[in-house]
Structures are given as structure tokens and as C-alpha cells.
A and B are shown apart, each in its own frame.
Chain A
Amino acid sequence: GAVVSQHPSRVICKSGTSVKIECRSLDFQATTMFWYRQFPKQSLMLMATSNEGSKATYEQGVEKDKFLINHASLTLSTLTVTSAHPEDSSFYICSAIAGGLETQYFGPGTRLLVL
């Protein structure tokens, strides 16, 4: 199957700093990428949908100025958590889909801990 990578896999940062998470599709071109957030023992919550070359579409309740998404190429999307606070600590997972295909492939996730 298709491979999606995320970097970093784990990050610890101080409150007030910004953190960038990268999501890459390694062996296919992803026309659309999705960013999810998962709290412990809970399901995935969709944060935003990112299409290459256009602005991301954010789900209701997700602050677009806090969670900046850039999908500059067909293989890379980035999520920047700006001015992170402890409540932003979570597991962030990206997924990617190629045009015309049905299956979303997921990255391994990034665990963010804000102190």
C-alpha cells in the first residue's frame, strides 16, 4: 500500500512556542491531505482538509490561526501549531489520498506534549 510519513514522531515544547509537523506521501501524489487529532482512548477528530495549492478547509471549532496548514506540493503538507498551550497536547495524525483513488492512507502520527 501507499506510504505516508510524519515528522517528528514525538515533540515536547514549551508553552508559547510554535511546532511544525510535516506529512509526506512517499510513493504517490496526494491531491488531498487530512489532519486529524486524537485524544487518549478516543476516536479521530478531523481538523482540516488540505488541497494542494489552495487554502485548507477547517472543521467547525478548529482555529485556523492557531493550526496553520500548508499544502505546498503534491507530496507535502505541514501543520503548524502556533503559540502552543498544554491543552494542545495530543496525537496528531495526517492522511493522504490520491485523486481517483478511494483509500486514505495514514501517517504514523505525531505526539505533541506542551509543557
Chain B
Amino acid sequence: AQSVAQPEDQVNVAEGNPLTVKCTYSVSGNPYLFWYVQYPNRGLQFLLKYITGDNLVKGSYGFEAEFNKSQTSFHLKKPSALVSDSALYFCAVRDAGNTPLVFGKGTRLSVIA
């Protein structure tokens, strides 16, 4: 069975500083990994994904994530945080095919001016 762990409920970072939101996963085959962001009372917006290829994936709004197979991790990063990045971030994984995503519990990012 697939699972995703986001060990931090909350991450606080000062504006302009680098940010990292952690994610580890468990899947039987090759993982399809995703990051989504959710703003209050809104649906999820796709940020980036790893399917195959380069381990460093670049996505929307300056975010990037690094796939680390040995550590089964897919941490989300941004070199310089903005106040507008404050939101709820979800890591998700699935197998190949049209299988549903399995989500982590989410990490609330708060960027302080």
C-alpha cells in the first residue's frame, strides 16, 4: 500500500529565507510524486511532479523538489520565500496508471514578513 508522511504540521520561515517542506513516501513500484498547494477555502493547485528523469524537478512559483530514491524522500524547496507562499502544502504519491493519489496530512507554511 502507498503512503506519504509529512512530518511537520507547521513550518515557519522569514520572508527571503529558503524554505523546505519535508515529504517521505512508501510505494511498491516506481513512484509518481506530486506537490500541491491549497489556499483557504480553495481546491488544490498543482505545483510540480516527479515521474522519471532528473531528480531535481522545477515547478510553479519558483518551487522545486528533489527526488531521493535511497531516502524515499521528495522534499519541496524554494530559495527565497514570499509572504504569498503562506498556504497548506500537500505531498502525494501514486502508482502508474489512473490510480488515485494518496495524500500526506499536509504542512502549513507560514512566511513572516
Contacts and interface: CB of A to CB of B under 8 A. Distances in A.
Interface in A30-77: 31-32, 34, 42-44, 46, 49, 51
A102 B49 contact: yes
13 contacts: A1-B46, A34-B100, A42-B106, A43-B90, A43-B104, A44-B44, A46-B100, A49-B100, A93-B43, A99-B98, A102-B51, A103-B49, A104-B101
Given A43-B106, A102-B32, A102-B51, A108 B42 contact: yes
A85 interface: no
Nearest to A1: B46
Given A31-B98, A44-B90, A99-B98, A107 B105 contact: no
B79 to A, nearest CB: 23
Contacts of B80: none
A109 B90 contact: no
Interface of B: 32, 34, 36, 41-46, 49, 51, 90, 98, 100-106
A81 interface: no
B34 A103 contact: yes
Interface of A: 1, 4, 6, 31-32, 34, 42-44, 46, 49, 51, 91, 93, 95, 97, 99, 102-109, 111
A34 B44 CA distance: 13
A107 B49 CA distance: 18
A103 to B, nearest CB: 6
A42 B43 contact: no
B98 A106 contact: no
Contacts of B32: 102
B34 A109 contact: no
Given A102-B32, A102-B51, A109-B42, A32 B90 contact: no
